[in-house]
């Protein structure tokens, strides 16, 4: 309304606000109203530890931050909104998803999942990281970083997982499934023979459907976002040291939303 009054005045026509409000059927008091509500404020003692954590770990969402700091998740979410600290989510694709072969299980050691990814190792060039997780507890049980993505790399990660879980290498008492994709590494004679020797049963996903191995794929994304992409590794040894520290943090300290904000180690202890 003020804009209209100023426009008329510029044309040499003086019209009072009372008349303008009467012409347009608008209450006059609405033109003079000014909101009195002050902008939301955040206590410094709450915002400072949150800011310090997301500066150190920019990919952490409000649930993870709340779990690590022992704060109410609604309070942390509200501070994220006021400060504009929300994590930008990836766009959801439109490709159809195959729903068969869910990775979810009802107890630990019912199904493990494994996969490979590449990591830049500075002067050592591209490295291959093999991972093995428990699909129930989300524990990262075994991992191995090597210069080549051969069956021996995936086999070393599997053997480390068996040692971490059972304390020794040997046939497991109760056979369970080991899920992977159909890559040459996991279908090779060396790897399939190794898996059978420990009493495990291989389970392959449908070709070109990585979402069927979604749990380990999600762990790979997490380790890249929160560890690999945040460091410039100088060598293979440097990468092994940093990744090893992060995996220890992931298993013992990082709360997991799918586990009710418990850590993977806590989920295993509760299920044992």
pLDDT per residue as tens digits for the range 5-45:
788 788 888 888 888 888 888 887 777 777 777 778 888 88
pLDDT per residue as tens digits for the range 160-216:
999 999 998 999 999 999 999 999 999 999 999 999 999 999 999 988 888 888 899
In a domain, 37, yes or no: no
Task: Determine contact, residues 54/65, Cβ cutoff 8 Å.
Answer: yes
Whether 131 and 197 share a structural domain? yes
Task: Determine contact, residues 105/136, Cβ cutoff 8 Å.
Answer: yes
116 or 29, higher pLDDT: 116
Whether 129 and 196 share a structural domain? yes
Taking phi first (over 0 means left), then psi (-120 to 50 degrees means alpha), and beta for anything else, what does residue 242 get?
alpha
CATH of the domain at 172: 3.30.420.10
Whether 117 and 148 share a structural domain? yes
Query: How many domains is the chain partitioned into structurally?
Result: 3
In a domain, 174, yes or no: yes
Whether 244 and 203 share a structural domain? yes
pLDDT per residue as tens digits for the range 60-99:
888 889 888 988 989 998 998 888 888 776 665 544 444 4
In the prediction, which pLDDT does 96 show? 47
Task: Determine contact, residues 29/1, Cβ cutoff 8 Å.
Answer: no
Q: In terms of Cα–Cα distance, which of 68, 194, 210, 211 is closest to 142? A: 194
Whether 133 and 266 share a structural domain? yes
Domain span at residue 76 reads: 44-83
Quick one: CA dihedral 95, 99, 102, 106, positive or negative? positive
pLDDT at 238 over 50: yes
3-state secondary structure of 240: helix
Distance CA 263, CA 250 (A): 8
In a domain, 89, yes or no: no
In a domain, 185, yes or no: yes
Whether 146 and 204 share a structural domain? yes
Distance CA 80, CA 197 (A): 50
- Output the pTM of the full model: 0.75
In the prediction, which pLDDT does 97 show? 46
User: Whose structure tokens read 């068996």?
Assistant: 162
């Amino acid at each position: 309304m003020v804009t209209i009054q100023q426009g008329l005045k510029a044309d040499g026509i003086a019209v009072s606000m009372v008349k303008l409000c009467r012409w347009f059927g608008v209450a006059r008091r609405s033109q003079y109203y000014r909101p009195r509500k002050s902008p939301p404020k955040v206590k410094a003692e709450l915002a400072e530890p949150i800011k310090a954590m997301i500066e150190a770990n920019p990919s952490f969402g409000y649930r993870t931050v709340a779990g690590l700091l022992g704060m109410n998740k609604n309070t942390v979410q509200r501070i994220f909104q006021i400060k504009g600290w929300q994590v930008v989510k990836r766009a959801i694709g439109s490709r159809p998803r195959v729903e068969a072969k869910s990775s979810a299980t009802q107890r630990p050691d019912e199904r493990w999942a494994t996969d490979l990814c590449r990591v830049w190792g500075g002067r050592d060039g591209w490295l291959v990281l093999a991972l093995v997780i428990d699909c129930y507890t989300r524990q990262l049980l075994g991992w191995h970083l090597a210069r080549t993505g051969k069956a021996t790399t995936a086999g070393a990660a599997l053997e480390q997982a068996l040692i971490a879980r059972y304390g020794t290498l040997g046939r497991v008492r109760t056979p369970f499934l080991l899920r992977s994709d159909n890559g040459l590494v996991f279908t090779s004679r060396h790897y399939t023979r190794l898996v059978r020797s420990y009493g495990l049963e291989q389970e392959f996903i449908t070709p070109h459907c990585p979402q069927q191995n979604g749990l380990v794929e999600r762990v790979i994304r997490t380790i890249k976002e929160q560890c690999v992409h945040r460091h410039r590794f100088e060598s293979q040894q440097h990468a092994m040291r940093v990744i090893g520290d992060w995996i220890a943090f992931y298993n013992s300290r990082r709360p997991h939303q799918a586990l009710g904000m418990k850590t993977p180690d806590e989920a295993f202890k509760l299920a044992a």
